[in-house]
Amino acid sequence: MTGTTLTTPLPQIETPLLAVALTQGGAVPASLAELDRAAAGIVGRAIASGDFKGKRDETALLYPSGAKPQRVLLVGLGKPGDVTRNSIRRAAAVAAKRARALGTTQFAFALAAEARNGVAAADVGQVVVEGAAQGAWAFTELKAAPDDPKPEVETVAIACDAKEAKALSAGERLGEATAAGHFLTRYLQMLPGNVCTPGYLADRAKQLADQHGFTCTVLDRAQMRQENMGALLAVAQGSQQDPRFIVLEYRGAGADAPVALVGKGVTFDSGGISIKPAQNMEDMKFDMSGAAAVLGTFEALGRLKPRLNVVGLIPSTENLPSGTAVKPGDVVKSHLGKTIEIINTDAEGRLILCDALSYVRRFKPAAVIDIATLTGAVVVALGQVAIGMMGNDDALLAEVREAGERAGERCWPLPLWDEYRDLLKSDIADMKNSGGRGAGSIAGGWFLREFVEGVPWVHLDIAGTAYTDGDGPHQVKGPTAIGVRLFTEFILKRAGA
List of residues contacting ligand BES (CB under 6 A): 269, 287, 344, 346-349, 373-377, 379, 434, 440, 463
3-state secondary structure of 412: strand
The DSSP H or E segment spanning 310 is strand 309-319
For residue 337, the minimal CB distance to Zn ion (Å) is 24
Residue (of 435, 396, 433, 395) closest to 419 by Cα position: 435
Residue (of 123, 135, 212) closest to 179 by Cα position: 135
Bridging pattern class, strands 309-319 and 244-251 = antiparallel
For residue 377, the minimal CB distance to ligand BES (Å) is 6
- Judged by beta carbon distances under 5 to 8 A according to partner kind, the member of Zn ion, ligand BES, Mn ion, none in contact with residue 480 is none
State residue 219 phi and psi, 5-degree precision: -95, 140
For residue 279, the minimal CB distance to ligand BES (Å) is 12
Q: Specify the residue, 287 or 341, whose C-beta has the smaller distance to Zn ion.
A: 287
CA 94 to CA 89: how far, in whole Å?
Answer: 9
- Judged by beta carbon distances under 5 to 8 A according to partner kind, the member of ligand BES, Zn ion, Mn ion, none in contact with residue 375 is ligand BES
Q: Specify the residue, 257 or 379, whose C-beta has the smaller distance to ligand BES.
A: 379
For residue 300, the minimal CB distance to ligand BES (Å) is 24
Cα atoms in the 13 Å half-sphere on the side-chain side of 429: 18
Q: Specify the residue, 334 or 434, whose C-beta has the smaller distance to ligand BES.
A: 434
Tell which positions 237-266 bind Zn ion, by CB under 5 A. Answer: 266
Q: Specify the residue, 287 or 489, whose C-beta has the smaller distance to Zn ion.
A: 287
Order of strands, sheet of 72-76, starting from the edge strand that comes earlier in the sequence: 2-6, 155-159, 106-111, 18-22, 72-76, 59-62
Q: Can you tell me which of 58, 130, 164, 346 binds Mn ion, judged by CB under 5 A?
A: 346
**Is residue 287 a contact residue for Zn ion (CB under 5 A)?**
yes
For residue 280, the minimal CB distance to ligand BES (Å) is 8
Q: Specify the residue, 88 or 352, whose C-beta has the smaller distance to Mn ion.
A: 352
Q: Can you tell me which of 58, 123, 176, 269 binds Zn ion, judged by CB under 5 A?
A: 269
Q: Specify the residue, 290 or 302, whose C-beta has the smaller distance to ligand BES.
A: 290
For residue 260, the minimal CB distance to ligand BES (Å) is 22
Q: How distant, in Å, are the alpha carbons of 214, 315, 487 from that of 493?
A: 21, 27, 10
Query: How many CB atoms sit inside 10 A of residue 197's CB?
Result: 23
DSSP 113-173: GGG-TT--HHHHHHHHHHHHHHHH----TT-SS-SS--PPP-EEEEE--GGGHHHHHHHHH
Catalytic residues: 276, 350
- Judged by beta carbon distances under 5 to 8 A according to partner kind, the member of ligand BES, Mn ion, Zn ion, none in contact with residue 409 is none
Tell which positions 340-369 bind Zn ion, by CB under 5 A. Answer: 349
Contact 433, 425 (CB under 8 A): no
Q: Taking the mean position of all CA atoms in its chain, how far away is CA 428?
A: 39
Tell which positions 448-467 bind Zn ion, by CB under 5 A. Answer: none
**Is residue 318 a contact residue for Mn ion (CB under 5 A)?**
no
**Is residue 409 a contact residue for Mn ion (CB under 5 A)?**
no
Bridging pattern class, strands 18-22 and 215-219 = unpaired
CA 23 to CA 32: how far, in whole Å?
Answer: 12
Residue (of 301, 182, 325, 194) closest to 248 by Cα position: 301
CA 58 to CA 348: how far, in whole Å?
Answer: 42
**Is residue 318 a contact residue for Zn ion (CB under 5 A)?**
no
For residue 264, the minimal CB distance to ligand BES (Å) is 8
- Judged by beta carbon distances under 5 to 8 A according to partner kind, the member of ligand BES, Zn ion, Mn ion, none in contact with residue 185 is none
Contact 233, 325 (CB under 8 A): no
For residue 290, the minimal CB distance to ligand BES (Å) is 10
Instruction: Sketch the per residue contact string, 106 through 125, with Zn ion: x for CB under 5 A, - otherwise.
Output: --------------------
Q: Specify the residue, 125 or 290, whose C-beta has the smaller distance to Zn ion.
A: 290
Tell which positions 59-118 bind Mn ion, by CB under 5 A. Answer: none
Q: What residues have CB less than 8 Å from 155, skipping those under 6 apart?
A: 1, 2, 3, 4, 105, 106, 107
**Is residue 269 a contact residue for Mn ion (CB under 5 A)?**
yes
- Region binding Zn ion by CB under 5 A among candidate stretches 229-237, 245-253, 284-292, 483-491: 284-292
Order of strands, sheet of 339-341, starting from the edge strand that comes earlier in the sequence: 331-333, 339-341, 431-432
Q: Specify the residue, 2 or 384, whose C-beta has the smaller distance to ligand BES.
A: 384
Q: Which residues bind Mn ion (CB under 5 A)?
A: 269, 346, 348
Q: Which residues bind Zn ion (CB under 5 A)?
A: 266, 269, 287, 349
